[in-house]
Structure 1
Amino acid sequence: MSLPIAQQWYDTRRLDDRIWLITEPHVHPIFSANMHLVLGRDADLLIDSGMGIAPLRPVVDGLRDDPGKPLICLSSHTHVDHIGAAHEFEQRLVHPAEAEELANPSPYSLTSADIPAALVRLFLDAGYPPLWEYLINAVPVPDYDIAAYKIPAAPATGTVEDGDIIDLGDWQATVLHLPGHAPGQIGLWHPESGTLFGADAIYDGPLIVEDQETYANSLKRLRGLPIKRVHGGHDPTFDQTRCLEIIADYLTRWGRA
């Protein structure tokens, strides 16, 4: 199967005067994760780094006011769609429970037939559409080798835990440990604006559950925050009303309301 060449691999959209959304529109919805760039006075912050199919750093630097400023890459967790380009950034932060995977990523294939059947079933049961033949429907350059896809090692230069502060000088946010989707899944809470970067702990689409009891506790924790908007790891931004609806829906499904 020959795939078309994408005119551009990444889409970018400004969400407000500080935050950019970066997406990979040619990646299957299950693996097309949101990346958020937060601009700060003293440093900028990139939350997650996608699949790493095409170079990300030039796109990120093109959105920054000053590409010479320090840039922090924060991996919310280490599933393939969130760490693919982490190696392109000098400062790499992750929760300690995810650090080993960031340093030694598990092999992954862009060919759907190579993905374990149990994982494919998990995606379907969660409510995602069937996988395409490949996890992408285009290639970034004419000579792109799908079979050679590999996530490079990107050892963390630091770790963050619950309660730690990410400080960009004129913007500070608190790290929230929100396990259930992944052991070291984290979110980022900016109380001044009521903004939650929920990553894969909560987004407006089918949630993938690793540990239901732990996940329920994470959602209950989020239920207690005065959230005004959520930038999730997938799908569009949503407000407090929708956030509470999603939490109530899953807690009810799991019998843990």
Structure 2
Amino acid sequence: MNSKERLYQDVLALTSLTPARNYMNMDSLNEAAAYIRTELEKLDCQVKEQPYEVDGRTYKNIIAYFDGNSAEERLVVGAHYDVCGNQPGADDNASGVAGMLETARLLHQNKPALRHPIELVAYCLEEPPFFASEDMGSAFHARSLHKQGVKVKAMVCYEMIGYFSDEPNSQQFPAPQLAKYYPNTGNFIVVVGKTGQEKYTEHVRDLMRQQTTVDVQSVNLPEGFGLVGLSDHRNYWKYDINAVMINDSSFLRNPHYHQTSDTIDTLNFDKMAAVVKGAYEAIIRL
């Protein structure tokens, strides 16, 4: 299979789980985690579970580790596998998990000389009611690295990378003035960072642009503005880590956001594969 086909299979596996893989449905979350772990265990990397307890339930992050030439600093690449409410979550965030898994497969397949070890993480509990709390899987992961004294060079978050539109005016903006700087057709991908991260965000954007056919944009805004802090990358900022989100702009483009209509047939897998190719090439060059 090629990247497009593998991405499709990943999204299909996650969106086919019933009931929906939200925080209440432990069997579905555990099935999702088992699928992710099984896919990662096929590769030349170290795989482990990172369990943690919230409200009497045990949730887990799944971690894959690829050794690099330097043991000093590592790169973190993550995506969350839970959904909000009772919906299939194709774009949010089976697409991101598929991107993370495909990045791992490309690392295994291409065996690039890594400048840094790469730690890929599938997180649980990104969605409400745990969003922005210390119970997010990414908060637990970031905190554990900090406590261990692990130096992290950067973090890249895959969050909603599958929805694109070629219709004019299909792209919305959190503030009207931003429309002057970005396309109004929702067929691009965005590297999102907070104010003060401009150099890093633009570096990731430029590296992606060299290796992908998808239009790659970047934006830096205050962390509480729009969708800037609305995913797992937010939990690395508190440790002064450069962390960005690769995103299709979420609810600013995708009308199926957090709806039962967020299904696999709404995604563009050709563009998803192109996004992951660009992101992978950026990650190994950071």
Identify the TM-score tier after normalising by the shorter chain. under 0.3
TM-score when normalising by structure 1: 0.28
Name the structure with the higher helix share. 2
TM-score when normalising by structure 2: 0.26
Ranked by relative contact order (alpha carbons within 8 Å, sequence separation 6 or more), the top structure is 2
